[in-house]
Amino acid sequence: MTWSIVARDPATGEIGVGVSTCAFAVGARVPFVETGTGAIATQAFVNPFYGLRGLELLRAGADAQSVIDILTLADAGRGQRQVHMLDRAGRLAAYTGADCVPWCGHLIRDTFSVAGNMLAGVEVIEETARVFAAESALPLARRMIVALQAGEAAGGDKRGKQSAAIRIHDAEEYALFDLRVDDHADPLGELARLERVAHERYLHYRKVMPRRDDPSGVTDRAEIERLIAESIAAESIAAEKAGPAR
């Protein structure tokens, strides 16, 4: 039904989930992310409590593998579940139930995991992982999308495609990215477009919003516009130095 990435960017501390599927509104069911706690993708026959209860257990200090053990032991439908997660210490764990529709499975690397079910073949998650590892210079959001697009090119969900999402947190308690394409002929292509649009103003405005270390943020409109303009200019210069964007 679905394949996804759960990852941490060691350079920025960002954590998140990227996901694509041939089902409606995947972003409303699969990704669960909380700053300072961890990131979870719950899929196959989705059990939302793997995300809700999983974050609760991670918040209490349990490690990723222990959380999966607790969740699956308590679930009579565990054979039809798939879940992978990252805890606050950066540890990763994954579970693929014995009754998930093939191809199904998961892999774990140092800073990320990829899991999927009802896929065209193992090459979907292998190619997703290969590209994600190779594109480490990209920001996490774009890196996830590019990697998922590589998995789609390798066959993706064997039923087709319908929705995609990314949810990423940085040091703030609210999301850096929470982008969802609920129903689209090319959901990953549309997700990539939304990520590009976010760089036009959205991400720059976020820098002047209330933060943990500045609970009020910037409130003077002229100052907001000046800081946004400076941020946009700085990103443009950095992009020119980096070369053509992916």
- Categorize the per-residue pLDDT at 241 as very low, low, confident or very high, splitting at 50, 70 and 90: confident
Question: What average pLDDT score do residues 187-210 get?
Answer: 97
- Tell me what the pLDDT averaged over the chain comes to: 97
pLDDT band, residue 37 (cuts 50/70/90): very high
Q: Percentage of the chain with pLDDT > 70?
A: 98
pLDDT tens-digit profile of 160-189?
999 999 999 999 999 999 999 999 999 999
Output the pLDDT for position 244. Answer: 67
Query: What does the H/E/C string look like for the chain?
Result: CEEEEEEECCCCCCEEEEEEECCCCHHHCCEEEECCCEEEEEEECCCHHHHHHHHHHHHCCCCHHHHHHHHHHCCCCHHHEEEEEEECCCCEEEEECCCCCCCCEEEECCCEEEEEECECCCHHHHHHHHHHHHCCCCCHHHHHHHHHHHHHHCCCECCCCCEEEEEEECCCCCCCEEEEECCCCCHHHHHHHHHHHHCCCHHHHHCCCCECCECCCCCCHHHHHHHHHHHHHHHHHHHHHHCCCC
- The average pLDDT across 199-213 equals 95
pLDDT tens for 77-94 read 999 999 999 999 999 999
Contact 208, 224 (CB under 8 A): yes
Q: pLDDT grade, residue 246 (50/70/90)?
A: low
Return d(Cα 143, Cα 140) in angstroms, integer: 5
Taking residues 41-45, report their average pLDDT. 98
Which region holds residue 95: left if phi is over 0, alpha if psi is between -120 and 50, else beta? beta
Q: What is the pLDDT of residue 167?
A: 99
Question: What pLDDT, on the 0 to 100 scale, is given for residue 242?
Answer: 76
d(CA 4, CA 77): 21
Q: What percent of the chain is modeled with pLDDT above 90?
A: 95
Residue 139 has what pLDDT?
Answer: 97
pLDDT > 70? residue 134: yes
pLDDT at residue 1 in the model: 72
β-strand pairing of 177-181 with 163-169: antiparallel
Using the predicted structure, report yes or no on whether residue 40 has a pLDDT greater than 70: yes
Give the pLDDT of residue 55. 99
Q: What is the pLDDT of residues 216-228, one digit of tens each?
A: 999 999 999 999 9
Residue with the bigger pLDDT between 242 and 55: it is 55
The band of 159, judged by pLDDT with boundaries at 50, 70 and 90, is very high
Kindly report which listed range (169-173, 197-201, 236-240) carries the lowest average pLDDT score: 236-240
Residue 245 pLDDT greater than 90, yes or no: no
pLDDT of the residue at 149: 99
